[in-house]
Amino acid sequence: MSMLDFKYHYLLTISYDGSSFNGWIIQNNKRTIQGELTKALNKLTKKADFSLLGASKTDAKVHALDQKVLLGVDFEIKNLSLFKRGLNRSLPLDVRVNDLITVDKDFKVRDVKQKTYRYTINDQNFDLFTQRYELNWFEEEIDINKLQEIFNLFVGSHDFYLFSGLSEKEKADFKTTRDIEEIKVLRNKENKIEIYFKAKGFIRYQIRMIVAASLQCYLNSKRSSVELIKERLNGKGDKSPFNIDAKGLCLMKIEY
């Protein structure tokens, strides 16, 4: 059944620690966010029919604080607070439902105004208790102003195919020209680096490949120079050969 076949629609706001997940999309014999939500809903609704659609298809190991999920059912949820509590009791501790509201039947969960992602880098002392959520940087301390100048190359409208995980065959089915509204590099109160990306949408591995290319450029790699980055953003040359650990990436905010 498709989402429009269901009489009632609800919007869930969820957060999760992606460390032990193989991404959002349900997969056979693999632990996923959609899979855990499906199991919890089966338990709570006594296996009534329902449909789930996530706003962002996060990859394996990526975290989220504000993922949005559309739920379609044929029964009215009269007590949203009680239903949310029941869901959280049925979910594992690394997935939480933060909010549950009623939405119109024509609500489109993927028609967003803006998504905000954060990538975290620890270029200070190794932290055992936060290392699951950040890239550990073992080079010299990063000059965030210099790094910001490199990231500025990616702001605006560009063809990001050469900074994506899409195959040549997949390219025809995806819009690879995207508009990144803002990339902001800063240090937080723990003196770690946070890089914020704001755009309407991103393609597979785009943020991670941008971060990897920028860090290689920062280290003066000949395979990721300023000139090569500019060429690739114009669709010239080969794909950027660099990607980076997913654990530093977190979906922070989705706005409608």
The residues that are catalytic are 59
Residue 213 neighbours by CB distance under 10 Å: 28
Q: List the one residue out of 126, 112, 111, 121 whose CA is nearest residue 196.
A: 121
Angle among Cα 50, 8, 18 to the nearest 5 degrees reads: 50
d(CA 241, CA 194): 23
Q: What are phi and psi of 233, to 5 degrees?
A: -70, -15
Q: Where are the alpha helices (DSSP H) in 132-185?
A: 144-151, 168-171
In a 3-state reduction of DSSP, which class is residue 102? Answer: strand
Shortest CA distance to 52 belongs to which of 62, 66, 65, 42?
Answer: 42
Cβ within 8 Å of residue 104, ≥6 positions away: 9
